[in-house]
Chain A
Amino acid sequence: MPNRIVSNIQNIGHRVIESVWRLGVASRFFILVLLKSGTSLRRFNLVIRELYFTGVLSLIIIVVSGLFVGMVLGLQGYETLQKYGSESAVGTLVALSLVRELGPVVAALLFASRAGSAITAEIGLMKATEQLAAMGMMAVDPIARVVAPRFWAGVISMPFLAAIFSVMGVFGGYLVTVVFIGVDEGSFWSQMQSAVDFRFDILNGFIKSCFFGVAVTAIAVFEGYDAPPTAEGVSGATTRTVVTSSLVILGLDFILTAFMFRGVG
């Protein structure tokens, strides 16, 4: 019995040490990517190519999800607000929820599962098929040539995708409440305009999405580069990208929100 307890404690310790060690490896990799970003900035067409794959190809899921989230927000908001006779405030509710929280967070979650997983799988498969090793043998650094452009493309796309998500959400809310239910259009927009502050709401939302962009793409490229070069290795890494990114997004969101909106406003 005492032996089992000791071995259990040993296991826990082992796992903790392993996690910390992996976090250290990931941090060093992240710094390496930043240091080797020169090529991406000098040859920006490398980044533009990746912007298409991570950004443009994520547009459909972002646009459609944004629209539906906004429509649901409009419906639910109207249901509740009309009980208090303040259904004209539904525009404010939709806009603030989206710009402050749902836009950056949901867009980042979708981005992690659409683009993050694709980045991990692609880099992992390039490693498994020795493409990265071949590149190294050709005296081309795979971190500078393959990883860094994908990283920067993800970091650049994320704020745009979050903004598009919020815009589509507001439009969805407008469609449901103004066009279908018949809330007054003038008060919908004017209340929204007076309640949403550029610096406090929009800029903070933008900052959040930048943080999420860095976190998701850093996790995605690391998991891909670190994946064992086998089929199971790559599939495991892809799953880890989605799970870890999602948890990191939600955790980061709480921390950032606590710093940005400390009961003011």
Chain B
Amino acid sequence: MTAETLIEVNDLNFSYDTRAILKGIQMSMPRGQVVAIMGGSGSGKTTLLKLIGGTIQPTSGYVKFAGEVVHELNRDALFKLRRKMGMLFQFGALFTDLSVFDNVAFQMREHTNLPESMIRDLVLMKLHAVGLRGAHHLMPNELSGGMARRVALARSIALDPMLIMYDEPFTGLDPISLSVIGNLIRRLSDALGMTSIVVTHDVQESLKIVDYVYFIADGVIAAEGTPKEVRESIAPFVHQFVHGEEDGPVPFHYPAQTYKKDLNLEDNFA
């Protein structure tokens, strides 16, 4: 990891009311890499993306994006910064009242004064990159889940951002769509020189495409490393997560009093 750092996360803490979600997160993401953030449901992965995008404020610590501390920016500066970021939401979050074409053109029309003929060419190029040039006239409700996510991907690269954040990009996809999205994430990052952050719990698919992995558990980074290191790791949490084992550091049973006591067996057999 010698390349220039695009995102630096330093001692980041975040709490909802008094419940600590993230505790002292430390990360560094170089330009052009694909980084995965993994962890169980509710471990604070999406919260971390929101903190990087500046939609919520950290309790303490900071996120630095391209040299700027995100939460210290005022609204205008933050909006300016966000033009360098793209985000792919879990189910695409396409604008349902706009066609595929208009969805991809949305940011270009909002933020640039490009002539309509150039917007048309750019939109078709972006759609071509995700293989959906032929679907530009469809409405979002006519797309399958995988197609919708590819359109959303085309929309998020509309202004050639420096960073794309993917929030659970593999959820609910069939195996073909899954590997299509996975490959697109890798290919687009390489072709456009973007940094990508993939928040996911799909271990096998993401280990194929990423350069580096962070595991978050209980609000702290439980482990990190390259896919190779992660696969060979003997750390109990990583081993359980990567191999999908039922019991381990993350227990199968929710904490409870003893089984015997719950079934009122202790008194009779004592």
**Nearest Cβ on chain B to A257's Cβ, whole angstroms:** 39
Does B43 sit at the interface, judged by CB under 8 A? no
Does A81 sit at the interface, judged by CB under 8 A? no
Contact flags (1/0) for A108-144 with B, using CB distance below 8 Å? 0000000000000000011001110111111111000
Instruction: Name the contact of B95 in the complex, choosing from A131, A137, A141 (C-beta under 8 A).
Output: A131
Q: A137-B85, A138-B107, A139-B83 are in contact. Are A131 and B93 (CB under 8 A)?
A: yes
CB of A134 within 8 A of CB of B110, answer no
Measured between beta carbons, the chain B residues less than 8 angstroms from A136 are 55, 82
CB of A134 within 8 A of CB of B83, answer no
Instruction: Name the contact of B93 in the complex, choosing from A134, A139, A140, A141 (C-beta under 8 A).
Output: A134
Which residues in window 79-102 of B have CB below 8 A to A? 79-80, 82-83, 85-87, 89-91, 93-96
Measured between beta carbons, the chain B residues less than 8 angstroms from A141 are 79
Measured between beta carbons, the chain A residues less than 8 angstroms from B53 are 137
CB of B82 within 8 A of CB of A134, answer no
Q: Which residue of A lies closest to B50 (CB)?
A: A133
| Bound: A136/B87 CA distance, A | 10
Measured between beta carbons, the chain A residues less than 8 angstroms from B85 are 137
Instruction: Name the contact of A129 in the complex, choosing from B86, B96, B111 (C-beta under 8 A).
Output: B96
| Bound: A129/B89 CA distance, A | 9
Does B106 sit at the interface, judged by CB under 8 A? yes
| Bound: A115/B251 CA distance, A | 51
Measured between beta carbons, the chain B residues less than 8 angstroms from A125 are 96
CB of A133 within 8 A of CB of B79, answer no
CB of A129 within 8 A of CB of B91, answer yes
Measured between beta carbons, the chain B residues less than 8 angstroms from A133 are 55, 89, 93
CB of A140 within 8 A of CB of B107, answer yes
| Bound: A139/B95 CA distance, A | 15
Which residues in window 103-121 of B have CB below 8 A to A? 106-107, 110-111
Contact flags (1/0) for B52-67 with A, using CB distance below 8 Å? 0101000000000000
| Bound: A211/B96 CA distance, A | 31
Q: Which residue of A lies closest to B158 (CB)?
A: A138
| Bound: A195/B94 CA distance, A | 56
Measured between beta carbons, the chain A residues less than 8 angstroms from B82 are 136-139
* Most chain B CB inside 10 Å of its own CB: which residue of A125, A138, A145: A138
**Nearest Cβ on chain B to A224's Cβ, whole angstroms:** 14
Measured between beta carbons, the chain B residues less than 8 angstroms from A129 are 91, 93, 96
Which residues of B line the A interface, CB within 8 A? 53, 55, 79-80, 82-83, 85-87, 89-91, 93-96, 106-107, 110-111
8 contacts between A and B (CB under 8 A): A129-B91, A131-B94, A131-B95, A133-B55, A136-B82, A137-B85, A137-B87, A138-B106
Which residues of A line the B interface, CB within 8 A? 125-126, 129-131, 133-141, 145
Which 3 A-B residue pairs are closest in the complex by CB-CB distance?
Answer: A134-B93, A130-B93, A139-B79
